[in-house]
Amino acid sequence: MNTQIGKKLIWLSEIDSTNKYLTTLSKEQLDEGLAVATNNQVEGRGQRGNTWESEKDKNITFSFILYPKFLKVQEQFILSQAISLGICDMLLQYTKGISIKWPNDIYVNNNKIAGILIENAISSAQLDQSIVGIGLNVNQKTFSDDIPNPTSLALETGYVFDLKETIGLLCSRISARYNDLRNNGFDVIQAEYLNLLYRRNEFYTYSSDGKKFEAIIAGVKGTGELILESRNGERKEFGFKEISFF
């Protein structure tokens, strides 16, 4: 049976965090794909404890619940890959230059347009529950100076988007990727994710343990580590907090 994310959607005028709100609701069994969206998220969170800025009534900030019990704990990164590809599928209908900055920031050229926060609950060897939060810049055109490289659909296309229509399309594209992951396995998801990685085919400067070096992306492990290859052919693996992009 396929999952239709967003078929049931709770839309709130203002909330601290859609992930937090949905986590509270999930103390009782919820239908898979239930989503919570808001016009104004005042305490949005991103990866690594970062905040997510979103102007009121301008953007998509929402979360949904999944029960990916077909995934083992060590396979959980594939869910992040599938969600990332679903967002890219939707954005590619409107603009070019879409890529995924490892692990799961969505870029248009060199600017960030969307972010993902996935909070997993684990039982035994499988994933029991995943709450997926997504922030997508849609109609916002000005951002705080401390945000280094933001963009939005409006900035990229010159159009103003209907938020409810846009979230419907986004949910449809993510649902397709999630169901494909469940029904058809990992190979296509992993290959397409790798092909869409930001800075995929060129040498760039990275930093780890305070040291800068040049490397090219050689791959991504199934458990999520980024594999970089230096100019001398040496390969190293890096976890989520072990590497910085320049």
Mean pLDDT of 69-92: 97
Mean pLDDT of the chain: 94
Domain 204-245 has CATH 3.60.20.10: no
- Structure confidence by residue, pLDDT tens digits, 3-13: 999 999 999 99
Which CATH code fits 9-195?
3.30.930.10
- Structure confidence by residue, pLDDT tens digits, 158-191: 999 999 999 999 999 999 999 999 998 899 999 9
How large is the angle between the packed helices 77-91 and 187-195, nearest 10 degrees? 60
Mean pLDDT of 212-220: 96
Q: Cα(194)–Cα(177) distance, rounded to whole angstroms?
A: 15
Alpha helices in 104-226 (DSSP H): 153-157, 163-184, 187-195
Percent of the chain's residues with pLDDT above 90: 87
User: Is residue 36 predicted with pLDDT exceeding 80?
Assistant: yes
User: Is residue 100 predicted with pLDDT exceeding 80?
Assistant: yes
User: Is residue 47 predicted with pLDDT exceeding 90?
Assistant: no
Residue 62, pLDDT score = 96
- Structure confidence by residue, pLDDT tens digits, 229-238: 999 999 999 9
Residue 1, pLDDT score = 81
Residue 20, pLDDT score = 94
Domain boundaries, the chain: 9-195, 204-245
Q: Which amino acid makes up residue 162?
A: D
Residue 116, pLDDT score = 96
Total H helices, total E strands in the chain: 5, 12
Residue 51, pLDDT score = 63
CA nearest neighbour of 101 among 118, 120, 80: 80
Residue 43, pLDDT score = 74
**Per-residue buried b or exposed e for 69-84, using 16+ beta carbons within 10 Å of the residue's own CB:** eebeeebbbbbbbbbb
Residue 246, pLDDT score = 85
pTM: 0.94
Q: How confident is the model at residue 148 (pLDDT cuts 50, 70, 90)?
A: confident
Residue 26, pLDDT score = 94
Residue 6, pLDDT score = 97
Residue 44, pLDDT score = 60
